[in-house]
Amino acid sequence: GNSVTQMEGPVTLSEEAFLTINCTYTATGYPSLFWYVQYPGEGLQLLLKATKADDKGSNKGFEATYRKETTSFHLEKGSVQVSDSAVYFCALRGPGSARQLTFGSGTQLTVLP
Amino acid sequence: ETGVTQSPTHLIKTRGQQVTLRCSSQSGHNTVSWYQQALGQGPQFIFQYYREEENGRGNFPPRFSGLQFPNYSSELNVNALELDDSALYLCASSLDMASGGYGYTFGSGTRLTVV
């Protein structure tokens, strides 16, 4: 079946540091890949997505590239801010009628001023 | 436009009881999915409803059931509650089945504690 493995947290960085959160996946066929963010007390928000190999998703300074050869979709940001503190989830959507998402276990990011 | 609203926000139940969680989907969305998020884990897919019919289900026992109403709002029912059912239950709506992860709008969830 489909699965997503995420870098375990928590991750603590100083403001303006570089961020990488690793994500690898196992899936049949050609999944679509996503990063979601969850702020305290809120639901999940879609951060970025990529639908095919070599696609790069980007939003709010975050980027991730769909690497089929390494089955990876690592999240990066060049300069984090305190407001980026949240839990980040990597997810995939495989083929199938329900198009459900399979999530990783999440990575807690804390950015210190 | 309104987002996804879930109620209640918190709930405490006793093992063996039954619970109903409610979700109002975003205006115009006709597909609702439910996810269970245990503490420290990623959300797990429970099932999806499209135009009042269940059209996909994850690895959850039959005591997890649902409904979708003509206005596309939805309920999640859990019978014979177990301690392991303690989790955050997330509802997500989308424009149609094909939107899948693209068009999901998640609610803030219902925190269920089973004691």
Rounded to an integer, what distance in angstroms lies between the CA atom of residue A11 and that of residue A108?
6
Give the pLDDT of residue A46.
Answer: 92
Give the pLDDT of residue B102.
Answer: 63
Question: Which of A21, A37, A44, A97 has the most B C-beta neighbours within 10 Å, making it the best mutation to test the interface with B?
Answer: A44
Give the pLDDT of residue A98.
Answer: 58
Give the pLDDT of residue A29.
Answer: 79
Q: Which residues of B touch A (CB under 8 A)?
A: 4, 33, 35, 40-45, 47-48, 55-58, 90, 92, 97-102, 104-109
Give the pLDDT of residue B1.
Answer: 56
Give the pLDDT of residue A68.
Answer: 93
SS3 of chain A: CCEEEECCCCEEEECCCCEEECEEEECCCCCEEEEEEECCCCCEEEEEEECCCCCEEEECCEEEECECCCCECCEEECCCCHHHCEEEEEEEECCCCCCCEEECCCEEEEEEC
Rounded to an integer, what distance in angstroms lies between the CA atom of residue B98 and that of residue B14?
38
Rounded to an integer, what distance in angstroms lies between the CA atom of residue A77 and that of residue A39?
17
pLDDT tens-digit series, residues A17-74: 999 999 999 998 788 999 999 998 888 999 999 988 999 999 999 999 999 999 999 9
Distance from CA of B10 to the nearest CA of A (A): 11
Give the pLDDT of residue A30.
Answer: 82
pLDDT tens-digit series, residues A5-21: 998 889 999 999 999 99
Rounded to an integer, what distance in angstroms lies between the CA atom of residue B71 and that of residue B90?
19
Q: Is pLDDT above 80 for A97?
A: no
Residues in chain B, pLDDT under 70: 1, 96-103
Longest dimension (CA), chain B: 39
CA distances from B91 to A27, A31, A44, B23 (A): 24, 22, 10, 6
B36 or A97: which leads in pLDDT: B36
Interchain pair B41, A100: CB under 8 A: no
